[in-house]
Structure 1
């Protein structure tokens, strides 16, 4: 007689999936937090944006975390409680993966002349800078899509569903608002631009967006874990 898989093996697969989700949350939170810590301890102050840290001693951290996020997003299998073949979050995760990798590997145009990166040498600094900015917008849009569309669409029916939907909405709204404010920043009058530049608004908005996504993703992973535990306990 054919033996069915043991519940323990399913539980192990579930723990692996949940751990993968939590790594994405931790990395999203860790990146700006580490850069802030380095800026304070080094005494060099905050940069204008997360991307500007590419040209600092912590470049390896910036690139490494983004590449790690890219790999985890690419391997993300998605979750849909009823229609496993219609996992739209897989597609968005793949888009987030590619865009995160491009943000890491296609840096901003340097302020000083120096050695070029591979993409800068092949395509030129201006084109690479354009790729970086477009990829950053796509990446942030993917994160907002998870919070505002995909998480609510595949919401797990648990007693705290209403609270989770509200938090997803708040986190997604923070990301969208941060993106809109970053666009608005480019069109401010010159005097206002330089007056507010001291407060590093782009860096702060990017940090808020990543923190918001980290919260939403962690909440989602906890909901998946609770649903899995409830199923195995039944």
Structure 2
């Protein structure tokens, strides 16, 4: 049980660390923030971006969770491994440099980087498509955890009811952020979204929601749960 709690807390911490670190870094550079979290692959924060995703992938891959009941298709192990695979794809199949990552006119460009191995053997367009699919798997699986896996079990206890409200809230926030990203892609306002860093903020919110759900599951946010219980009394 202690190992489960440690993994959950670790995932919660990592979910908070990456967006906070990128926002803090942005306070000291001319362009302040890039178009998306993934755009930091082509910045001095590349190692933090890739390293955090790899650490999340390791935690998720090794998370067994609870044994599935008969007939349960979305087991903890299956969903966590889908999320783990998605995180690795996002880390090692980057966006194309100079397109999605370019800052608005008049601002400094990110430092140039050599193409990755994957970009040398596969068309960068296909690599970018892999990146998008990996992000959808990662956030989609985390939303499933919040809306399906975490809310299973006896919810007769006041604390469990409060936790479930938090999980569902986090899950729908992640779904909303994914829907917002899809809407931006289909709306034709991608240039405006890039200028406003809309995707970056949607990703930061989704990361915070996923981090909060895992921190609650790891019993690291007991004051938040207790406050929810108190409000419902």
Query: Could you say which TM-score interval applies, normalised by the shorter chain?
Result: 0.7 to 0.9
Distance in 2 between the 1:55 and 1:172 partners?
30
Gaps of 5+ in 2: 100-111, 223-233
Q: Structure 1 106/36 Cα, relative in aligned 2: closer, same or farther at 3 Å?
A: same
Structure in which a larger fraction of residues adopt helix: 1
User: How many residues end up aligned between the 2 structures?
Assistant: 208
Matches within 5 A, 1:1-234: 14-80=1-67, 83=69, 88-111=75-98, 115-154=114-153, 158-190=157-189, 193-222=190-219
Q: Structure 1 84/31 Cα, relative in aligned 2: closer, same or farther at 3 Å?
A: farther
Gaps of 5+ in 1: 1-13, 226-234
Distance in 2 between the 1:144 and 1:173 partners?
7
Task: Find the residue that maps to 2:98 and give its secondary structure.
Answer: coil
Task: Find the residue that maps to 1:32 and give its secondary structure.
Answer: helix
Distance in 1 between the 2:91 and 2:9 partners?
21
Q: Structure 1 158/221 Cα, relative in aligned 2: closer, same or farther at 3 Å?
A: farther
| Cα offset, 1:212, TM superposition | 0.6
| Cα offset, 1:110, TM superposition | 1.2
Q: Structure 1 196/131 Cα, relative in aligned 2: closer, same or farther at 3 Å?
A: closer
What residue number does 2:231 align with?
Answer: none
| Cα offset, 1:163, TM superposition | 1.2
Task: Find the residue that maps to 2:27 and give its secondary structure.
Answer: helix
| Cα offset, 1:68, TM superposition | 0.4
2:5/2:217 contact within 8 Å kept: no
TM-score, normalised with respect to structure 1: 0.81
Distance in 2 between the 1:73 and 1:84 partners?
23
2:155/2:161 contact within 8 Å kept: no
